[in-house]
Amino acid sequence: MAQPLDFQTVFRNVPDLYLLLDADFVIADVSAAYLRATMTEREAIVGRNIFDVFPDNPDDSDADGVRNLRTSLERVRRTKAPDAMAVQKYDIPRPDSEGGGFEERYWSPVNTPILDECGDLLCIVHRVEDVTGYMRLLQEGQIKSAKTDALLSEKEQIEAEIIRRAHEVQDANRRLDAANIELENLYRAARDAELAKSRFLAVASHDMRQPLHALTLYLAALARRVDNEEARDILAKMERATESMITMFGTLLDLARIQAGVVNPEIAPFALQDVFECIAAEHTQGELDVQPTTITLYSDAALIERALRNLVTNAIKHGGGKARLSAQAVGDRAEIVVADNGPGIAKEDQARIFEDFVRIERRGASGGLGLGLSIVKGISAALDVPVEVESEPGRGARFILRPRLSAVAAASERANDDVASLNGAPALVVDDDATAREAVAAALADMGAEVRTAGSEAEAEAHLAEGFAPRLLVMDLRIDNELRGIDIARRLCARLAKPPRVVVVTADTAADTLAMLRNSRFAWLIKPVNPRDLSRMAAVQLAAGR
């Protein structure tokens, strides 16, 4: 039976010049031919970094062997692909027994990665050919002897051209490496800028939503207490101004999130009629004609609603004061149309209107930021939902969204818009922002709840210790500037024999935060919270907890 091969012995005795390097360029093994060519001994170089064993010749100011070889090895380590170098002048140290100093040498190196079965780098094979004699011949310039002329055969001239071209390739590789480094630096800078932008969006979302949240609830509470007709008119104007401010803030935040690439669609079946009814509820003065639909879509309901709301608002503002909203199934997609009878849009403007801050000025048109259609375009791209405009001057405009239809029906989630009565149900509101806390408490109290408030977990626990047993816990997600609300809610629930129903309220809208809320299995609302939404949510949760 044949004995298994001793591969180390085979490697060490191959006739060519080989070094085996680990990923840090430390010499792991070496062929005998390489030792002879470099005048080294195995024990003196194995276990040492190749650049410690073979430094540049200090007497050669133009020496670039270390730099070029390191660049090649690093490229192999990074790309896990072989790298052939141009002929390289790389002098080697001469042993003291040979007089010391450095001896001029030229090499033709090839560096090849060895990968494991998972594709990870095991080692690098560094193979060289000593071409010193040949290079010296080429460097002699004017060759005078006939003998030398005979040596310079056509083959050798071709080889000389190949060497020249190889040097050109090496120079190009150096420039390419420098360009790649610059690109990597630019990429890191861009990535850092995007991270900073995302952090700003998270902070802006939370800090700016908080006062809007409280303001919305306080205005609703005030409206329930005002009887004077003149005061009611002033209050209605305040509410419209607040709604406009909330819309503009939401618009700017939506655009920033789309541009930052932090919009993560939640794709699921939903009834389009629910979206239509939500939009219709915002336009109750006859300015919007909504055609009922039984279509079920497979998309992100919130983003589709935002896109349609923007299209409807745009149609009413710029399309003569009225708009129509309808839908029909066409193949495997829905065709949702927002139409108006306005002055229309010229062909040359139809692509431009989807750009940021672009407004086509028309007489009598109300103001805006010029971002609504830009956001529609961003949502269209995020959802892979085509958006089109059909229009001619004087003939109105039709904006069309084409989302995918769902293969399964979705149950309607539409609830009654009336403010529900909570019939004395005990409720606990936990929020470290005093203004927001009192606003939510006032809204719940107006709905008939018996409300207590807490600014911290300790204060909430104190209420429970006094025997207060809430049926409803309204919990802010961010406590002491950390996303601790869900954990606090769970600990408070664990202290009661009959845990309350939990509604988490948050101004944080980052994708990971929304994922955390979904996984909590608690109900949740995004600030600023509309009093009707709070009322419906509270009523639904209390009914479920009976």
> What CATH code is carried by the domain that includes residue 441?
3.40.50.2300
Q: Is residue 408 a part of any domain in this protein?
A: no
- Give the domain CATH number at 311: 3.30.565.10
3-class DSSP state of 508: coil
Domain end among 263, 281, 304: 263
Residue type (1 letter), 123: C
Give pLDDT tens digits for 336-363.
Answer: 999 998 888 888 877 787 776 666 655 4
Are 300 and 386 found together in one domain? yes
3-class DSSP state of 103: strand
**Residue 99 pLDDT exceeds 80:** yes
3-class DSSP state of 212: helix
List the alpha helices (DSSP H) in 466-521.
485-494, 511-520
Model pLDDT, residue 364: 46
Domain end among 224, 248, 263: 263
Are 238 and 309 found together in one domain? no
Are 453 and 490 found together in one domain? yes
Are 212 and 228 found together in one domain? yes
List the alpha helices (DSSP H) in 14-57.
32-38, 42-45, 50-53
Residues whose CB is less than 8 angstroms from the CB of residue 1 and which lie 6 or more positions away in sequence, other chains included: none
Are 309 and 336 found together in one domain? yes
Q: Is residue 406 a part of any domain in this protein?
A: no
Query: Which residues form the domain of 232?
Result: 160-263
Q: What is the mean pLDDT of residues 502-530?
A: 84
Contact status, residue 5 vs residue 23, Cβ threshold 8 Å: no
Are 283 and 397 found together in one domain? yes
Give pLDDT tens digits for 380-434.
Answer: 888 889 999 998 888 889 999 999 998 776 655 554 444 456 788 999 999 998 8
Model pLDDT, residue 474: 95
Are 138 and 183 found together in one domain? no
Nearest to 282, CA basis, from 334, 327, 325: 325
Domain end among 368, 401, 434: 401
Residues 60, 64, 67, 72, Cα dihedral to 10°: -140
Are 275 and 386 found together in one domain? yes
Give pLDDT tens digits for 175-197.
Answer: 777 777 888 888 888 777 766 76
Are 119 and 165 found together in one domain? no
Q: Is residue 344 a part of any domain in this protein?
A: yes
- Give the domain CATH number at 235: 1.10.287
**Residue 475 pLDDT exceeds 90:** yes
Burial class of residue 5, CB neighbours in 10 A (0-12, 13-18, 19+): exposed
- Give the domain CATH number at 132: 3.30.450.20
Number of domains present in the structure of the chain: 4
Q: How far apart are the first and last CA of the chain?
A: 82
CA dihedral over 465, 467, 469, 473, signed as positive or negative? negative
Residue with the larger pLDDT of the pair 230 and 452: 452
Are 131 and 249 found together in one domain? no
Distance CA 300, CA 403 (A): 10
Distance CA 356, CA 255 (A): 9
Are 330 and 443 found together in one domain? no
Model pLDDT, residue 135: 78
**Residue 369 pLDDT exceeds 60:** no
Q: Is residue 414 a part of any domain in this protein?
A: no
Are 84 and 192 found together in one domain? no
Q: What is the mean pLDDT of residues 81-97?
A: 89
